[in-house]
Amino acid sequence: MRQILLTSIPLLILSACTAGAADNSKSVYAEYCASCHGVGLEGGSAPSLFDKDWKHGSDLASIRKNIADGIDEVGMPGFAGGLSDAEIENLIVYLKAGAPAAEEPQTPATVDKRAETAPIAAIDQVDNIQSQINVEDYITGLDEPWGIHFVGDQVLITEKKGTLKLAQKSDELAQGWMVSEISGIPVVNNARQGGLLDVATDPDYARNNLVYLTFSHPLEGTSGASMTKLIRGKIVDNQWTAEETLFQAQADDYLDTGFHYGSRITFDDKGHIFFSIGDRGPKEQAQDLDRPNGKIHRINRDGSIPDDNPYLDAKYPSIYSYGNRNPQGLIWHPETGVLWETEHGPKGGDELNAIKPGINYGWPKISYGINYNGTVLTEHQALPGMAQPASQWTPSIAVCGLDVYAGNLFPDWKGRLLAGSLAFQSLRLIDVDGDKYKGEVEILKDKGRIRDVTTGPDGAIYVALPRKIVRLSPK
């Protein structure tokens, strides 16, 4: 059995951890901690708890204080309001002893009555779908790939730590791929959820060779302030060149929180580029039209502002919609023209939204979720002037990555959405009609946390996992 390499536990506390208490602490961990630290303590959006040293203290007093009071700088809430002293003590024992990794993600219990009665997205479990799909390793040896994008038969891959890689097929190499690192990429703030994020190419790439990147841009002269930035450039002989800044926030709007950057890129057929920025932690700023965070933005591909954007007189006239918590899925549907978005809720209330100009999507005034510590976030699931999601997931599946399937290998799936899940480690095929949600099914499960998904030029589906990209095709 794996053990956490930490200081020994006092015998008195260990003896107090009865079988019943241990079972309870396991359920408490699944309810309050697993969505961030991983089902088996292996780590997720928050660090692994199997590491020898914990940044904020591994002694009992530090752990107790961190659980009870939270850690503001990393966005960890305090749980004193939702857990009793005895539950906190038992949870400490559970963390110290180590927990075997679960075979399947645990579904947290819902503790808020509003979330119990909320409309939960229907998951149509069709057992034979997964058995009809072949899953094979495609590109391996990667380090936290965040965005994947095909350029013909080549693949551009962002790694969170700040590297952009170009993978090309090679008959001469045993692994079948020659993977090159692109030099000259800007420095990123690789901390917590920040880093090198999404990658896309211009719709006219064959003519202009333009590549777009989003990343957490560190503000010079500060100890950690950063904000999502959008740039474009060209790759020449594995060198990043001709860089242009398309969007950068003003210095006074940079934040030293390390999470909720967004950030996805998509294009429509009218010359626009859409990109997302999460609320960055101070959730009320998602409602502030003088702030860039908690918004979906739209600009022209050269960085100029479209004349019909809804807030031309605002500090950030690129704002297209607002009240969006942390959108890590964004795709324009080429058949219907609907801009689809998936965003992380808090504890419950992950959302699928059809984004429209000038619309307030409500965060944090309305939500189907609750605070991570189990307390009430808001009394409202709906308010006048605020849009409802097309669908929502409670418990949270931790949505990340979104695409419209447009290939020929799965002809019946054309026009449906592909949505990745971090916490539930699943890929959902979502049926939509215009801007309406119809249903969904899991087509990939338990292969790892899914960060991105895209349709390849061959019609196969490609999924970014923590260390590799896998290919889905019909058996």
- pLDDT tens by residue, 349-369: 999 999 999 999 999 999 999
- 3-state SS of 313-354 is CCCCCCEEEECCCCEEEEEECCCCCCEEEEECCCECCEEEEE
Q: Which residue is listed with tokens 């060149």?
A: 241
If one counts every other C-beta atom within 10 angstroms of the C-beta of residue 395, the result is: 23
Alpha helical stretches, state H, 34-145: 34-37, 60-69, 85-97, 113-117, 127-131
Please state whether 434 falls in left (phi above 0), alpha (psi between -120 and 50) or beta.
left
CA separation for the pair 34, 276 (Å, rounded): 26
| Rounded distance between C-alpha atoms, residue 130 and residue 408, angstroms | 18
* Nearest 10 degrees: Cα torsion 301, 295, 72, 450: -70
Phi, psi angles (nearest 5°) of residue 214 = -120, 150
User: Encoding tokens for residue 461?
Assistant: 């589906």
- Of 364, 337, 341, 365, the closest CA to residue 352 belongs to 341
Distance CA 227, CA 255 (A): 7
What confidence tens digit (pLDDT) does each residue in 392-409 have?
A: 999 999 999 999 999 999
The confidence band for 307, taking pLDDT boundaries of 50, 70 and 90, is very high
Q: What is the mean pLDDT of the chain?
A: 85
Span 315-342, mean pLDDT?
Answer: 98
Give the pLDDT score at 53: 61
Average confidence (pLDDT) over 116-135: 58
Q: Is 112 within 8 Å of 376 (Cβ atoms)?
A: yes
- Return the bridge partners of 340, or none: 331, 354
Task: Report, as an integer, the average pLDDT of 245-259.
Answer: 97
Structure tokens at 65: 């204080």
3-class secondary-structure state, position 239 = strand
Give pTM, 2 decimals. 0.81
Rounded CA gap, 429 and 352, in Å? 13
Q: In whole angstroms, what is the distance from residue 93 CA to residue 79 CA?
A: 16
DSSP letter for each residue of 152-218:
TTEEEEEETTTEEEEEEE-SSSTTSEEEEEEBTPPP---STT-SEEEEEE-TTHHHH--EEEEEEEE
463 DSSP β-pair partners: 453, 470
Quote the pLDDT of residue 72.
67
The beta-carbon contacts of 176-179 under 8 Å, at least 24 apart in sequence, are 177/139, 179/139, 179/141
Residues whose CB is less than 8 angstroms from the CB of residue 30 and which lie 6 or more positions away in sequence, other chains included: 39, 106, 108
Q: How confident is the model at residue 62 (pLDDT cuts 50, 70, 90)?
A: confident
42 pLDDT tier (thresholds 50, 70, 90): low
pLDDT tens column, 272-285: 999 999 999 999 99
pLDDT score for 66:
80
DSSP H or E stretch at residue 403:
strand 399-404
pLDDT of residue 131: 82
**Which sequence positions are flagged as catalytic?**
260
Give 40's pLDDT tier (boundaries 50, 70, 90): low
On the question of pLDDT at 244 being above 90, the answer is yes
Residue 130's pLDDT is what? 80
Domain architecture of the chain: domains with CATH: 11-103 (1.10.760.10), 119-474 (2.120.10.30)
Overall average pLDDT of the 158-165 stretch: 98
Question: Which of the pair, 192 or 91, is modelled with greater confidence?
Answer: 192
- Identity of the residue numbered 396: S
pLDDT at 22: 53
Q: Is 438 exposed, middle or buried (0-12, 13-18, 19+ CB in 10 A)?
A: middle
* Residue 373 predicted with pLDDT over 70: yes
pLDDT band at 176; cut points 50, 70, 90: confident
Cα→Cα distances 238→179, 181, 187, 391, Å:
11, 7, 17, 42
Based on the number of CB atoms within 10 Å of its own CB, is 386 exposed (0-12), middle (13-18) or buried (19 or more)?
A: middle
